[in-house]
Chains A and B, each alone.
Chain A
Amino acid sequence: MKHPLLVLLSSLILGCTREQVIENISFPQAENKVAVYCLLTPGDSIFASLKTLKSISALTQDSTESVTTAQIILQNSQTKKQAVLRYLGHDGLYGCSQQELPVVTGHQYTLVTYIPSINTPLQASCTVPGRAANIETFTYGLPYHDGAYERRRYSLSWRDVSDRSITYNYAIVFHYAFPVTDGGGSRIITGESLYINEGFEKATDYVYYAGDCPDTHLTQTVHLLTMDSNLFRFYALADNMYKGVRRGGTNDFFGAYQGVMPEFTNIENGFGVFGAYLRTEKDIIIQ
């Protein structure tokens, strides 16, 4: 919904802008580092992905190489039980089953990764949230047309389980499904969207989220993620980086950022994130 406004403001300021490609930028060589991603959630297997850092240049493709020879050790700090993640044979993915290392709410876990080409091991720790928040209320408005689709505003609320006044670390994953009829015939398009930065408000003990969804009268599912602070911060900054850097920052006239967008990581000697989350969900049907 913000887009019409942003387009208007863009037209004011960018009405007379010109762009040109700057040739022959000599980017410095990147350090020999690896990005580790490992997200824990109770009741499921544990997976990790390892990708190399790549120097930027006009020839750089938007993907990086996988690391296939790492040794990843996870340990539950409370029970001292540990597991070694096995390489799954593709895309730099490693994993172990929940029987090998159960993910328990409220427990702290440590990760140590050894990579032959890097002398210092990569290390991190995280704590699985103790409780999951549950969506309690759901309301929605009347339909409106956003220029392409019929949509509805909706609002959710849940009791805050973080016990903190400022940081509460939630995200919404909206699983959408809506019918489309075009030259390819009639079909249902499905997908997920992650909302993490905006739309959340807190008053007393309750957190409110407001968003919009297609007015399809189909069952939609809203998933509420209760995250540990590292995971939240990583995804929140990644969202900012996507808006501020990869889109050129031109979508953000209320305080656009063209300065340094810091990459958050809790991986010592590397990049990426080691985090944990709990997930609850609510089906919504708009009548």
Chain B
Amino acid sequence: MKQLLMLFVFIGYTALSLSIAQRIQLGGKVLSQANYQSLPGASVQLLKTKATGVTDEEGHFFLDRISVGQYDLVVRYAGYLTVKKRLFLSGDTTITILLIPFATDLDEVTVDAQHTDFADKPLSSLASLSAQQLRSIPSIGGEHDVARILTLTPGVKADNEANAGLFVRGGTSDQNLFLLDNVPLYKNSHFFGFLSPFNSDIIRQADLYRGGFPARFGGRLSSVLDVRLKSASMEAVRLQGSVGVLSSRLSVEVPLIKDKVSVLLAGRRSYFDVFTRLFTGSGTTSGPDYHFYDLNGKLAAQLGKHSRLHLFYYQDRDRLQAGAKNDQENFRYDQRWTSGITGLSLTTLFNKQLSNELEAHTSNYALTQQTTQIQQGIGTVYNFANSIRTKTVRNTIEYTPVSSYKLRLGASGTVYGFQPGNLTFSDNQTTVNKSVDSTGITEVSGFLENEWETSMLKMNAGLRYATYSTTDQHHYSFLEPRLMVAYKITPITSLVVTYSRMNQPIHLLTNPGFGIPVDLWFPSKSNIRPQSSQLVSIAYHKTIAPTARSPLALSAEAYYKTLQQIITYRDGYSSQDFTTSKQNATRKWEDIMAVGQGKSYGIELLLQKKQGRLTGWLGYTLSWTKHQFDALNQGRAFFARHDRRHDLSIVSLYQISKRWSINGTWIYQTGQAITLPQAVYSQTDYNFLTNRFSSNAPVLVAYGERNSYRMKATHRMDVSFQRKTTHRWGVGQIDISVYNLYNRQNPYFYYLAPGNRVKAVSLLTVIPSLSYTVNIYTGTK
């Protein structure tokens, strides 16, 4: 502990010493000429000097240690014409740069140029996606899903082809921290896991950290998906909409007070229920009736010159209903997955060096099930609910004494409230309440983050301290050191080393098999410790043919991760043992879960072409993920279900003309690890009324080594054609996509069919889709 404090003091002292060498400064803001929206992530460079920078989230940049003289300033941003401007600098200067978008580019306000290149960022283990990339990669049903696209990057896998859940470097889907405008989201999918909850039309930037976690992030083991939504235009009303096969989206940006207050409203809704109603006859059944929607609202207010207020709201719901009804009986099933976020943040810029962000937010998730059965005379109703609700207050100070050093300091408090299992049953005779007591966790945490950058070295060294106090009076405390060091070996090669320690006080139990997702959140308690992990990685980056018109970026990264206190269901148990009222079903969640450990290690390769008509990347991961639970597989270690030895993704984007482009992806994955029965034995049918065994003998099965089989390998090609259109009122994009072009039967699960034949079930065939997205703007262009 003392050594760590010494390290931070040393880093701070060194950085402040460097500030003595500063000369004059150049600062400013980069805006889109189309709507005066700030452009975060734009590259700013003074030619023939070492002064380079990137605009922050408000479009600001800041260059210092510049000598007096004449310079050429170059500002680049994908989707915009590059600006080159000659400046004579004799003293500290502030300027505004307006960039002109390509005439037909739909993404003029949302492209995040810096983040289109995830390979060559000195921050290793980070994948960033821009809105432009989101819309370029082939969709399924018109949905350009951010989580699905991230599974095309090295180290990130989906559980199976019908699932948008992320499995990052051997971690499970609950170990991902999904942040929506810095607020955690506990529901990570729509449509039974098929889509992520993020509306791609309003995403400004999505960063997935799979290692080298900055100290400001905590509470999950394996990844942080930091999704930032765009702020509404302060200048003009903008309307964006999209009609697809699965759902439609609409977003509107309204400046309420010019240059002061604006509001963004966005919504998305599926229409499976409309289709199913069309096909539902007048018989005794209704449904199934399924839909999802999500709503986003964001109010931005400029308070004076130095403060900005954001009020953010998110709500979503998935609902599945089914039933059977006639004159004599009525049977209905109703399951809902809901989540909601309310966030408020106040950012104050005291001066160029010091800023403060104060945030308060709530986030909640609930799963509810209701089964109603009414048959003449006797009715029964089952209700089940599992929910989590959090309230957080956080403050972050950012201090940049010199351009080469940044200090972040923050503290937060979070109250978690859980209702693990509210279960009631009632009929004409009785009402049975089998609910377990509500419980919770109080988290208090603080962090310190140092970013230090020289021409040869970039370092982010941080420390996070978190305490978790459970309802049953147990306290857990963790010190989490974080480190990322990037060293530039030559102008075209660099080496990056990271270390992270993470802890997670909440646990998600996910059913091991196929079915409607019933994911249950549970808190840590005295006999269930928080999950924890340690991750080290080393990466090598190289630019190949740097002088060519289209250089290639190569990166190779090796990682090793250990996982402790991870959970899964005990053999034979599923959510039904907690959500239904089976005889002898336990009401202690620790009785249905097994606690164990795991490790994951591998090598990730990425070759990326970022310029020219043809762009894209080739990603390959060679990895191993093993778990060990005392209660499973007789205590022996076994490959995790999401262990994939080989994982290859090829993504190509080809710009045929200004308006037309063709894009394709091809993926290959080693098959999923599964367990198959190894033997059968006769149950020997017994008649309880006569106390006699009969010659009838239904068989039972005995299993062998857990996950010792592999399903068939998964591979698939998706393609899309896109055409951009220009109109007086705005721009549009037609998207024609084909999912699974050559109709590969990728296995979703295996089962043992009669005759002891193993059968594979595949879900998704070739799926063509068409979507049309428009972006309408009014006022100043």
Residues of chain A at the chain B interface (Cβ within 8 Å): 1-2, 4-5, 8-9, 11-14, 16-22, 25, 27-31, 33, 35, 37, 39, 41, 44-45, 47, 49, 51-60, 62-64, 91-93, 139-145, 153, 155, 157, 166-171, 173, 175, 192, 194, 196-198, 200-203, 206, 208, 210, 212, 223, 225, 232, 236-238, 240-242, 244-246, 248-250, 252-263, 271-272, 277, 279
Which of B75-83, B399-407, B546-554, B702-710 forms part of the interface with chain A?
B702-710
Cross-interface CB contact of B574 among A14, A59, A208, A255, cutoff 8 Å: A255
Query: With a CB–CB cut-off of 8 A, which chain A residues contact B691?
Result: 39, 41, 44-45, 47
Query: With a CB–CB cut-off of 8 A, which chain A residues contact B758?
Result: 21-22, 25
Closest to B581 in A: A201
Establish whether residues A12 and B290, one from each chain, have CB atoms under 8 Å apart when the complex forms.
yes
Q: What CA separation (Å) do A1 and B288 show in the bound complex? A: 16
Contact A25/B512 with A210-B427, A241-B701, A248-B752 known, Cβ cut-off 8 Å: no
Establish whether residues A64 and B681, one from each chain, have CB atoms under 8 Å apart when the complex forms.
yes
Query: With a CB–CB cut-off of 8 A, which chain A residues contact B754?
Result: 246
Query: With a CB–CB cut-off of 8 A, which chain A residues contact B749?
Result: 249, 258
Query: With a CB–CB cut-off of 8 A, which chain A residues contact B430?
Result: 201, 203, 206, 208
Establish whether residues A257 and B701, one from each chain, have CB atoms under 8 Å apart when the complex forms.
no
Which of B1-9, B171-179, B227-235, B371-379 forms part of the interface with chain A?
B371-379
Q: What CA separation (Å) do A252 and B502 show in the bound complex? A: 36
Establish whether residues A64 and B586, one from each chain, have CB atoms under 8 Å apart when the complex forms.
no
Instruction: State which residues 644-699 of B face A: CB under 8 Å.
Output: 674-684, 686-689, 691-693, 695, 697-699
- List 5 A-B pairs, minimum CB-CB distance, nearest first: A141-B377, A30-B679, A142-B376, A144-B328, A259-B512
> Is the CB of B431 closer than 8 A to any CB of chain A?
yes
Contact A144/B759 with A155-B378, A258-B513 known, Cβ cut-off 8 Å: no
Cross-interface CB contact of A279 among B582, B688, B755, cutoff 8 Å: B688
Cross-interface CB contact of B331 among A5, A175, A253, cutoff 8 Å: A5
Query: With a CB–CB cut-off of 8 A, which chain B residues contact A212?
Result: 375
Establish whether residues B675 and A259, one from each chain, have CB atoms under 8 Å apart when the complex forms.
yes
Contact A19/B759 with A30-B702, A140-B377, A253-B515 known, Cβ cut-off 8 Å: yes
Q: What CA separation (Å) do A44 and B583 show in the bound complex? A: 28
Establish whether residues B745 and A168, one from each chain, have CB atoms under 8 Å apart when the complex forms.
no
Establish whether residues A254 and B756, one from each chain, have CB atoms under 8 Å apart when the complex forms.
no
A92 to chain B, nearest CB (A): 8
Residues of chain B at the chain A interface (Cβ within 8 Å): 192, 276, 284-285, 287-288, 290, 320, 322-324, 326, 328-329, 331, 333, 369, 373, 375-378, 380, 425, 427-432, 511-516, 518, 569, 571-572, 574-576, 579-584, 586-587, 632, 674-684, 686-689, 691-693, 695, 697-706, 709, 712, 745, 748-765
B393 to chain A, nearest CB (A): 37
A97 to chain B, nearest CB (A): 12
Establish whether residues A21 and B757, one from each chain, have CB atoms under 8 Å apart when the complex forms.
yes
Query: With a CB–CB cut-off of 8 A, which chain A residues contact B687?
Result: 192
Establish whether residues B745 and A1, one from each chain, have CB atoms under 8 Å apart when the complex forms.
no
Establish whether residues B689 and A261, one from each chain, have CB atoms under 8 Å apart when the complex forms.
no
Q: What CA separation (Å) do A130 and B704 show in the bound complex? A: 37
Cross-interface CB contact of A166 among B569, B586, B679, cutoff 8 Å: B586
Q: What CA separation (Å) do A65 and B632 show in the bound complex? A: 29
Q: What CA separation (Å) do A33 and B373 show in the bound complex? A: 45
Establish whether residues A1 and B373, one from each chain, have CB atoms under 8 Å apart when the complex forms.
yes
Cross-interface CB contact of A56 among B425, B632, B680, B688, cutoff 8 Å: B680
Query: With a CB–CB cut-off of 8 A, which chain A residues contact B571?
Result: 259-262
Contact A254/B288 with A173-B688, A194-B688, A259-B513 known, Cβ cut-off 8 Å: no
